[in-house]
Amino acid sequence: MHDFCAQTLRYTAPSHGDWGLVRIVSLLPESHIMFVCPAACGRHGALGAVDKGYKNRVAYVYVDRSDIIAGYDGCIFDGVAQTLSMLPKRPKCFMVYVSCLDNLIGTDMDAVVAELNTKYPDIKFNYGRMNPISLEGNTPPAVSTTDAMFGFLEPAAKEADSLNMLGNFVDKDHEGELYAFLKSCGINTARHLSHYSTFDAYMEMARSAYNLVLSPIAKYAAANLQAKHNTPFLFIPATYDTDEIAENYSKISAFIGSAASYDFNADIAETERAIETAKAALSDRPVSISSEAVIKPFTLARFLLKRGFNIASVVTEEVAAFDADAYDDVKNQVEVINPLGTDVIDFKHRRPEVVAIGYDAAYITGSSHIVNLQGDQGLFGYHGTQTLMRLLAEAAMVESDLKALMDEYGLVV
Amino acid sequence: MARFSMYLPPFAPDYSGVCSALFDLNALTVIHDACGCTANYTGYDEPRWYGSDKAVYCSGLRESDAIFGNEDKFIARIALAAAERKPEIIAFVGSPVPMVMGTDFTGFARELENRLEVPAFGFDTNGTEYYNSGAYAAGIALLERFADSAVERKPNSVNILGATPLDISGEDFKSLQKAITDAGLEINASFFTGLTLEQVRGAGRASVNLAISQTGVRLARYMERRFGIPYVVGFPAGELVITDWVSAIHAAETEKRNVTLEVKQSDDASILVIGDEVFAQSIKYALTKCGKCADAATLFGVEPSLYTDTLDLADERTILDTLNSGKYNTLIADPLICQIAQENMRCIAVAQYSVSSKVCPITSKKYVGTNELIQEAL
């Protein structure tokens, strides 16, 4: 992975961020979260939770210097007891979070969780680490959180006609061809965390025979599920490149071990029409792509360049390994803007005529022509490309209020 | 001792107070953290951040740095940014991990200053204290370093002390400025909205300091010790009390004594005002002048030897117990605190950025120099 800010201080644009851990963990049905950390560490997550209406899913134990020196295992047990006594309904699962400083203190969270599971046998406990200090390691917060969430699943008898989709906060769009394709491969049930409103029902995700990993944050969890449940996984992040989409569907088919009978011709034709419509709507207007909007920004840039679009810039602080080939292909053709760069505050990248894919690109270019997309959202396959093209064409015509879009989305770092 | 919170968010922390206080200066401010602490400040504690060109950065602290220190790496990063931004001052601001690492912020700042020849400050904030302690530390650092002790006192001039956006909204701050100039007074320096280093240098010229928050009180006490400037604690929370407030300023200047706008606690109080201690007591004062009895309560600790009757709401349990005591039928507080009050309590929401930040769901009542808030409570 290439990191553009390895040697520098980092700027934090107002457009930076995503769901945040509290919102992600709140996807777990009937769950409750408790953070044990200095008060400051909880502020952004708590306010994000207030903003989006799930503050009732999270409690806090604010530790002070004396707790940090003496160790705060006891504070965790007291906090859990207090939380449970105040909740109107007993949760089915409970996540205890510690923060960066615990990496140095070394609370034995496995032992703490084991004791909690013994003390409250009707509730399943696990822990997570909100520790961006570990961003350069193998298990940064979003990775360890995804792992902890799926760590609740217990091995179960497999259903050969089912799979899970992991790593995407929002389910993939059911209007797309993905589900019809999966059905033609013999997959009748495609499961996603958002489908469940009870914890017991959520446990059926353990019955899926396959895991499709749509974001790198879920690869670690998928590897552990493979070890624990013997469920194989395929990492297949969203792409908008039609050649890659065809390859991806072949990979999924091979992964499941079933030849697909699905005919993509109509989807391909519709995608080509959408691309031409978007190109006409943009009429050579420059496009800027944020890595927070799409997981493979350089792959998207390469594809759009190949199709005759005018790609001005890619806004990203790093190049992921799975996007590196595309970066090599386009790095001399498009400007690469580091959104964490100390010079972003000079606003020298201002180009209001740009059509911006994602918030970082919009903020940095000063454009109000915005494709309102984060983390590929529900997009996948040909239908994903069609949707992106429609959003691009609309953004070229319509101005949006970036601040309002970001507030509505609820960005948390 | 650990504090438990079920309903409310944590309030603005100490490092946000430092950054907020320095925001208007040509400063290079570096929070020594991984990214979350900086994002706390820029995302939720700094309403001036969107569209701003201010140089507030994250150091990019990682686990290996926490183990090995790697001071040279961070000095190099700061040097690079300083060459680019050309700041008048550099601030190196602490967060929880450096507290555990034992980072020597004062020594680090000295090293920065020696190498870069730019005045540098280290703040050992750690995220366990409130914003007012950070804002105070920043103010003291600026005054100790830059304020000229030999300046001549200027009659009818005042310093505003303790006015970050975490203390007072932009509109109420403008009303405060207007109330001061309408009284025929000149604003000498404004800590910390619109502050310049030139103002800091000449801060000792003011004939009276106006402490409008707990941060302001602490700074006023420092400036009284150093410059002999008397101070007035409180602000005019309504039209009826402007006269009292202006009289207090004149009394402070002419009689060289400190004045606190204060009324004694009453057993009949049915209104509870919660916030910064000076905020709550100023609202209480205005209500009392209008014939209503109120109690004042603080979320951010009680200032020693100031008011005698402020309720100290040190944690969420105490807030809930006070709200549920049965004594009060009206609450004046941040909307998030109003949300945890009993349904039969009449709530008048006054947004406090240090509490609800930008997620405040209501249009807040104005309270400086206007009866908008007081009228609602009568």
Selection from A297, A299, A398 nearest residue A355 by Cα: A398
Residue A51 to chain B, least CA–CA distance (Å): 6
* One domain for residues B20 and B125: yes
Task: Report the CATH number at residue B302.
Answer: 3.40.50.1980
* One domain for residues B275 and B255: no
Contacts with B30 from chain A: Cβ below 8 Å? 9
How much of chain A, in percent, has pLDDT values that exceed 90? 94
* pLDDT, position B361: 65
Selection from A11, A360, A40, A340 nearest residue B28 by Cα: A11
| Residue of chain B whose Cα is closest to the Cα of A49 | B9
Q: Which of residues 250-309 of A touch B (CB under 8 A)?
A: none
Whether A72 has its CB under 8 Å from any CB of chain B: the answer is yes
* One domain for residues B352 and B319: yes
Q: What angle do CA B218, B222, B223 make, to 5 degrees?
A: 115
Q: Which residues contact A348 (CB under 8 A, 6 or more apart)?
A: none
Q: What is the pLDDT of residues A257-273, one digit of tens each?
A: 998 899 999 999 999 99
Q: Do B35 and A131 touch (CB under 8 A)?
A: no
Q: Does residue B219 belong to any structural domain of this protein?
A: yes
Q: Does residue B146 belong to any structural domain of this protein?
A: no
Closest by Cβ to B127, choosing from A41, A47, A134: A41
Parallel/antiparallel/unpaired status of strands B231-233 and B208-211: parallel
Whether A8 has its CB under 8 Å from any CB of chain B: the answer is yes
Q: Do B61 and A133 touch (CB under 8 A)?
A: yes
* One domain for residues B256 and B285: no
Q: Does residue B6 belong to any structural domain of this protein?
A: no
Q: What angle do CA B95, B101, B102 make, to 5 degrees?
A: 90
Q: What is the number of domains present in chain B?
A: 3
Which own/partner pairs from A70-73 qualify as long-range (CB within 8 Å, at least 24 positions apart)? Answer: A71/A105, A71/A107, A72/A36, A72/A107, A72/B2, A73/A107, A73/A108, A73/A112
Q: Do B99 and A403 touch (CB under 8 A)?
A: no
Contacts with B36 from chain A: Cβ below 8 Å? 41, 44, 99-100, 130, 132, 413
Q: What is the ipTM of this complex?
A: 0.95
Helix or strand (DSSP H, E) at B246: helix B242-255
Helix or strand (DSSP H, E) at A3: strand A2-3
How many Cβ pairs within 8 Å bridge chains A and B?
209
* One domain for residues B360 and B316: yes
pLDDT tens track of chain B, all 378 residues? 789 999 999 999 999 999 999 999 999 999 999 999 999 999 999 999 999 999 999 999 999 999 898 999 999 999 999 999 999 999 999 999 999 999 999 999 999 999 999 999 999 999 999 999 999 999 999 999 999 999 999 999 999 999 999 999 999 999 999 999 999 999 999 999 999 999 999 999 999 999 999 999 999 999 999 999 999 999 999 999 999 999 999 999 999 999 999 998 778 899 999 999 999 999 999 999 999 999 999 999 999 999 999 999 999 999 999 999 999 999 999 999 999 999 899 999 999 999 999 997 677 889 999 999 999 988
Q: Does residue B77 belong to any structural domain of this protein?
A: yes
Selection from A17, A51, A44, A46 nearest residue A34 by Cα: A46
Q: Is the peptide bond before B192 cis (omega within 30 degrees of 0)?
A: yes
* pLDDT, position A268: 98
Q: Does residue B24 belong to any structural domain of this protein?
A: yes
Contacts with B356 from chain A: Cβ below 8 Å? 47, 50
Residue ending a domain, choose from B260, B288, B311: B260
* One domain for residues B246 and B277: no
Q: Do B84 and A83 touch (CB under 8 A)?
A: no
Q: Give the single-character DSSP code of A315.
A: E
Q: What is the pLDDT of residues A239-255, one digit of tens each?
A: 999 999 999 999 999 99
Contacts with A39 from chain B: Cβ below 8 Å? 3, 10-11, 13, 127-128
Q: Does residue B206 belong to any structural domain of this protein?
A: yes
Domain extent at residue B107: 14-129
Token match 């939380």: residue?
A83
Report in angstroms the alpha-carbon separations of B49 from A13, B19, B41, B44, B341: 9, 11, 9, 9, 32
Q: What is the pLDDT of residues B144-196, one digit of tens each?
A: 999 999 999 999 999 999 999 999 999 999 999 999 999 999 999 999 999 99
Q: Do B63 and A39 touch (CB under 8 A)?
A: no
Per-residue pLDDT, averaged over A355-378, amounts to: 97
* One domain for residues B249 and B163: yes
* One domain for residues B256 and B275: no
* One domain for residues B227 and B332: no
Identify the structural domains of chain A with CATH numbers, from first to last.
29-140 (3.40.50.1980), 159-256 (3.40.50.1980), 274-409 (3.40.50)
Judge whether A372 and A404 are in contact, CB under 8 Å. no
* One domain for residues B310 and B226: no
Round to whole Å and give the CA distance between A317 and B107: 31
* One domain for residues B162 and B98: no
Q: Do A342 and B54 touch (CB under 8 A)?
A: no
Which own/partner pairs from B104-113 qualify as long-range (CB within 8 Å, at least 24 positions apart)? Answer: B105/B32, B108/B71, B108/B74, B108/B75, B111/B71, B111/B75, B112/B75, B112/B78
Residue ending a domain, choose from B205, B237, B260: B260
Round to whole Å and give the CA distance between A79 and B234: 38
Contacts with B76 from chain A: Cβ below 8 Å? 7
Give the other-Cβ count within 10 Å of A393's Cβ. 19
* One domain for residues B174 and B211: yes
Q: Do A47 and B60 touch (CB under 8 A)?
A: no
Residue A345 to chain B, least CA–CA distance (Å): 5
Q: Which of residues 333-352 of A touch B (CB under 8 A)?
A: 342-343, 345-347
Judged by DSSP in three states, B297 sits in strand
Q: Does residue B25 belong to any structural domain of this protein?
A: yes
Q: Does residue B140 belong to any structural domain of this protein?
A: no
Whether A404 has its CB under 8 Å from any CB of chain B: the answer is no
| Residue of chain A whose Cα is closest to the Cα of B98 | A101
